[in-house]
């Protein structure tokens, strides 16, 4: 620590005013500092190479083989897996459902979490820690457990039906997860609820950066809450909002455990998503050997689609920042 | 800086030590004298408890120098665990077979140990069809799988709640045999009690499909239920009269609220629990559920064959497929001890499994002597009787296993269970058309796979799938 401090201090002195010997010493120290920096980066870099880059590269390799996930890669299939994926209506059904889920979660999550964050930042300031904890609880709860519990809640014999029958809204239990539309809506609502706390924290972080003088000036000019929100808060928060949007989109495009435990992709594939589709082929075939090569091809196709979406959002973020 | 480096080195040493300690294998000899540890990984819920609490302790008592370390991995997790173990070269000494990673594939990869000396002269004691090529016996004529349960599994049965029948003024004599009877009895039950008529947990559609396909066999016996293989036609046929009418019967039960409304969202474990709590009079489920119900404390139930359209006989084809087997890692360092354990399984383990209501063993004599006369024993007897020996294309040509491997993942993804779920929710309107497409996709996959395997120089043709000498309901003699 002290040594690094010395190095930093010494670096700040201009070389021109030092003797050649001191300049040489400074250079040596700078080199040492760089080596230390690399040493600290090394573990993360190794993890990144082994657990991110290697699987990505290998999924491209597997995707051109007819490979069940065990044994040697000796059955080269060329682009056959890709052709099969692109021609498979079930893949496009899962693809469509994934984007419906993403759009639903994003549209539901972003405005509601922003409103609550504003409320916590202004109106509920005194008890904000309590509310933050309450809303953050689902984030730290295991998604698979949430799925299992919610399946019980929404089942015909579950709490929701009992409650609705008790207050007289329905006469007989409704199978909420047994109908394609209600199953997707429930999935979206629970997915949004699960990550509500996280989005709220992102918004709160953004709200903390709002310049107080601008808000005060707006108040002095007679702006009401809606006008402040519309003309001051949202425009200033827009770059932050774009980053939050990016995070929300990318995480919801990879929904898996919630679908697996809550609906299993049903009824009749109406809530099937791409990650679940890939899982079925890679690890859980209905019959016969797993198809790791095919699953990898599906993963690559979907990965490219997600990458395109992220690029588009990245471009939007840049445009927003520039404007 | 030197002080800092010391801490860094110490931390690295500490983490490395922990990692090495955590990853170290315990299959080698331990420090307790000459005690040898053998590892075992299984996947059967019904057998795991009995193996762990009864068979292993008995074995270790008889063989104090051997310790069996049991690891269980159920349902969907097992395939992943096995894939990882094969790829990582760290298979346990003994592990369970799984249909997703067939014995023939593992044999091709060279990871299996021969087991001829385990079975020895007892080969003839096993039920007919046990030693089928490509199933337990491989190309070199040796045995590579130790069958742990009878090949006559898994069938579906109908459980009934005796108490609900009594409350509705009915007795076991009123247990329905036909669809019309089931509808009539269920309506009576729903009028007189709070229970629904029928419960089938088909969040995982294979459960409903299992029951449906067995019911369909009474209408269209020319197609082997569950595999949809037509031995006379030499092809696959999903759109049979039997399957379509059975799907329509499920829809009728659903529309008339005979079927419990939660059925489509219940997983295979939840449905029996709901049945045991008195929410329905009848439960369509696998034979394995009987022992689970008893284990969970519910005993007031009976069992019968599933009702069929006109009360006619139903069946499942036994094609010599390995239903549940133990395999041995070729690289095991303790084959002598592994062999001891498998011999113990054969001599005493089968008996213990049957007595404790796991499943029937592959040796009929043991089942006769040890099966209990309670509802669990009766269920397994019904299951056993449901199976009839049927043709398997592998009887014609051993290269059929290569075709099956080639077909993996290329057939239809939609199952009959999926079509049923889609029909119940209104997403599938044309059942016959949808099933016809499933048949077409399966047959195209078969034709392509035969071409592919033939192209690699193997002798094979579609005629290997044809069996003109087979008659439905008559045991097929190879």
Contact at 8 Å (CB) between B40 and B66?
no
Residue B221 lies in a domain: yes
Q: Clarify whether residues B131 and B214 are in a common domain.
A: no
- Give me the domain span that covers residue B196: 154-320+374-478
Residue B251 lies in a domain: yes
- Structure tokens of B403? 């075709």
Q: Clarify whether residues B412 and B306 are in a common domain.
A: yes
Q: What is the mean pLDDT of residues B170-174?
A: 95
Coil, strand, or helix at residue B280? strand
Q: What local confidence, expressed as pLDDT, does residue B9 receive?
A: 55
Question: Helices A89-121 and A128-140 sit at what angle, rounded to 10 degrees?
Answer: 160
Q: Clarify whether residues B176 and B36 are in a common domain.
A: no
How many structural domains compose chain B? 2
Provide the mean pLDDT of chain B. 90
Coil, strand, or helix at residue B436? helix
Residue B11 lies in a domain: no
Cβ contacts of A235 within 8 Å, gap of 6 or more: none
Contact at 8 Å (CB) between B152 and B267?
no
Q: Clarify whether residues B234 and B379 are in a common domain.
A: yes
Coil, strand, or helix at residue A5? helix
The reply to whether residue A269 touches residue B411, judged by beta carbons under 8 angstroms, is no
Q: What local confidence, expressed as pLDDT, does residue A175 receive?
A: 85
Q: Clarify whether residues B129 and B162 are in a common domain.
A: no
Q: Clarify whether residues B313 and B334 are in a common domain.
A: no
For the stretch B424-445, pLDDT in tens is 989 999 999 999 999 999 999 9
**Nearest residue in B to A80, CA atom:** B410
For the stretch A196-243, pLDDT in tens is 999 999 999 888 888 888 888 988 888 888 888 888 888 888 888 888
Q: Clarify whether residues B99 and B162 are in a common domain.
A: no
Helix ranges (H only) for B387-429 are 400-407, 416-424
User: Which value, to the nearest 10 degrees, does the dihedral of the CA atoms of residues A237, A240, A241, A243 take?
Assistant: 170
The reply to whether residue B427 touches residue A287, judged by beta carbons under 8 angstroms, is no
For the stretch B150-171, pLDDT in tens is 999 889 999 999 999 999 999 9
Q: What local confidence, expressed as pLDDT, does residue B6 receive?
A: 57
Q: What is the mean pLDDT of residues A253-268?
A: 93
The reply to whether residue A71 touches residue B105, judged by beta carbons under 8 angstroms, is yes
Residue B363 lies in a domain: no
Residue B13 lies in a domain: no
- Structure tokens of B232? 């006379």
Residue B175 lies in a domain: yes
Q: What local confidence, expressed as pLDDT, does residue A71 receive?
A: 85
Q: Clarify whether residues B172 and B302 are in a common domain.
A: yes
Residue B14 reports pLDDT greater than 70: no
Confidence band of B35 (pLDDT split at 50, 70, 90) = confident
For the stretch B448-462, pLDDT in tens is 999 999 999 999 999
Higher pLDDT, A1 or A293: A293
Q: Clarify whether residues B47 and B117 are in a common domain.
A: yes
Residue B477 reports pLDDT greater than 70: yes
Q: What local confidence, expressed as pLDDT, does residue A70 receive?
A: 86
Q: Which positions in chain B touch A264 (Cβ < 8 Å)?
A: 203-204, 267
Q: How far apart are CA B149 and CA B127, in angstroms?
A: 11
Provide the CB-side half-sphere exposure for A254 (13 A, CA).
11
A35: DSSP letter? H
Q: What local confidence, expressed as pLDDT, does residue A7 receive?
A: 47
Q: Clarify whether residues B305 and B415 are in a common domain.
A: yes
A239 at B interface, C-beta within 8 A: no
Residue B354 reports pLDDT greater than 60: yes
Q: Measured on CA atoms in the order B135, B141, B144, B147, is the torsion positive or negative? A: positive
Q: How far apart are CA B3 and CA A304, in angstroms?
A: 48
Higher pLDDT, A86 or A219: A86
> CA-based Rg of chain A, rounded to a whole angstrom?
26
Q: What local confidence, expressed as pLDDT, does residue B25 receive?
A: 43
Measured CA distances, A89 to A254, A286, B242, B264, B370 (Å): 20, 18, 27, 23, 51
Residue B366 lies in a domain: no
Q: Clarify whether residues B386 and B351 are in a common domain.
A: no
Question: Helices A274-282 and A89-121 sit at what angle, rounded to 10 degrees?
Answer: 130
Give me the CATH number covering residue B439: 3.40.190.10
Q: Which positions in chain A touch B205 (Cβ < 8 Å)?
A: 266
A29 at B interface, C-beta within 8 A: no
Q: Clarify whether residues B221 and B281 are in a common domain.
A: yes
Q: What local confidence, expressed as pLDDT, does residue B23 receive?
A: 44
């Amino acid at each position: 620590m002290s040594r690094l401090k010395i190095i930093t201090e010494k670096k700040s002195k201009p070389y021109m005013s030092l003797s050649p010997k001191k300049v040489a010493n400074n250079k040596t120290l700078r080199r040492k500092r760089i080596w230390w920096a690399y040493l600290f980066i090394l573990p993360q870099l190794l993890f990144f190479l082994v657990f991110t880059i290697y699987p990505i590269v290998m999924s491209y390799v597997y995707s051109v083989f007819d490979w069940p996930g065990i044994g040697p890669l000796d059955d080269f299939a060329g682009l056959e897996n890709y052709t099969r994926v692109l021609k498979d209506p079930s893949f496009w059904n899962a693809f469509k459902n994934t984007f419906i889920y993403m759009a639903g979660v994003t549209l539901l999550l972003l405005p509601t979490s922003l409103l609550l964050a504003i409320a916590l930042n202004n109106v509920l300031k005194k008890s904000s820690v309590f509310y933050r904890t309450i809303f953050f609880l689902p984030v730290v709860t295991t998604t698979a457990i949430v799925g299992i519990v919610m399946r019980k809640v929404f089942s015909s014999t579950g709490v929701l039906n009992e409650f609705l029958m008790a207050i007289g809204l329905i006469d007989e239990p409704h199978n909420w997860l047994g109908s394609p539309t209600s199953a997707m809506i429930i999935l979206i609502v629970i997915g949004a609820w699960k990550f509500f706390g996280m989005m709220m924290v992102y918004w709160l972080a953004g709200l903390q950066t709002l310049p107080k003088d601008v808000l005060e000036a707006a108040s002095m000019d007679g702006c009401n809450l809606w006008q402040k929100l519309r003309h001051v808060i949202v425009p200033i928060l827009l770059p932050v909002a774009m980053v939050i949007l990016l995070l929300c989109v990318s995480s919801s495009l990879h929904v898996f455990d919630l679908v697996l435990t809550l609906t299993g992709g049903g009824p009749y594939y109406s809530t099937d998503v791409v990650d679940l589709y890939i899982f079925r082929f890679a690890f859980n075939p209905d019959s016969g050997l797993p198809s790791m090569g095919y699953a990898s091809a599906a993963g690559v196709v979907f990965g490219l689609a997600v990458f395109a979406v992220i690029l588009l959002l990245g471009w939007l973020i840049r445009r927003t920042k520039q404007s | 800086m030197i002080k800092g480096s010391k801490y860094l080195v110490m931390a690295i040493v500490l983490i490395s030590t922990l990692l090495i300690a955590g990853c170290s294998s315990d299959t080698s000899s331990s420090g307790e004298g000459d005690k040898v540890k053998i590892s075992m990984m299984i996947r059967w819920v019904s057998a795991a408890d009995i193996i762990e609490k009864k068979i292993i302790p008995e074995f270790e008592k008889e063989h104090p120098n051997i310790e069996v370390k049991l690891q269980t991995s159920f349902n969907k997790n097992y395939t992943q665990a096995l894939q990882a173990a094969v790829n990582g070269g760290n298979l346990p000494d003994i592990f369970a077979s799984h249909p997703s990673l067939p014995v023939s594939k593992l044999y091709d990869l060279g990871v299996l140990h021969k087991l001829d000396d385990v079975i020895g002269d007892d080969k003839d004691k096993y039920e007919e069809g046990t030693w089928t090529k490509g199933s337990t016996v491989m190309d070199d004529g040796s045995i590579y799988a130790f069958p742990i349960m009878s090949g006559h599994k898994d069938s579906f049965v109908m459980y009934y709640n005796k108490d609900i029948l009594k409350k509705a003024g009915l007795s076991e004599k009123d247990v329905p045999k036909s669809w019309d009877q089931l509808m009539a009895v269920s309506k009576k039950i729903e009028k007189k009690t709070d229970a629904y008529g029928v419960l089938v947990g088909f969040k995982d559609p294979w459960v409903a499909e299992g029951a449906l396909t067995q019911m369909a066999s009474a209408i269209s016996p020319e197609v082997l239920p569950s595999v949809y293989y037509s031995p006379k036609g030499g092809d696959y046929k999903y759109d049979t009269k039997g399957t379509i009418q059975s799907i329509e019967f499920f829809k009728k039960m659903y529309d008339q609220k005979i079927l419990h409304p939660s059925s489509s969202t219940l997983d295979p474990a939840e449905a029996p629990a709901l049945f045991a709590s008195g929410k329905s009079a009848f439960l369509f489920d696998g034979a394995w559920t009987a022992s689970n119900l008893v284990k969970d404390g519910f005993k007031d139930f009976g069992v019968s064959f599933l009702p069929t359209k006109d009360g006619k006989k139903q069946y499942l084809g036994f094609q010599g497929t390995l239903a549940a087997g133990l395999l041995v890692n070729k690289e095991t360092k303790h084959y002598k001890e592994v062999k001891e354990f498998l011999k113990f399984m054969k001599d005493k383990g089968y008996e213990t499994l049957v007595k404790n209501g796991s499943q029937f063993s592959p040796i009929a004599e043991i089942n006769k002597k040890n099966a209990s006369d309670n509802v669990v024993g009766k269920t397994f007897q019904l299951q056993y009787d449901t199976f009839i020996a049927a043709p398997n294309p592998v009887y014609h040509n051993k290269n059929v296993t290569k075709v099956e491997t080639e077909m993996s993942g290329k057939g239809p993804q939609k199952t009959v269970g999926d079509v049923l779920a889609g029909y119940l929710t209104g997403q599938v309107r044309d059942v016959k058309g949808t099933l016809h497409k499933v048949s077409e996709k399966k047959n195209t996959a078969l034709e392509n796979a035969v071409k592919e395997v033939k192209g690699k120089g193997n002798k094979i043709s579609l005629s290997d799938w044809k069996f003109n000498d087979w008659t439905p309901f008559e045991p097929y003699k190879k």
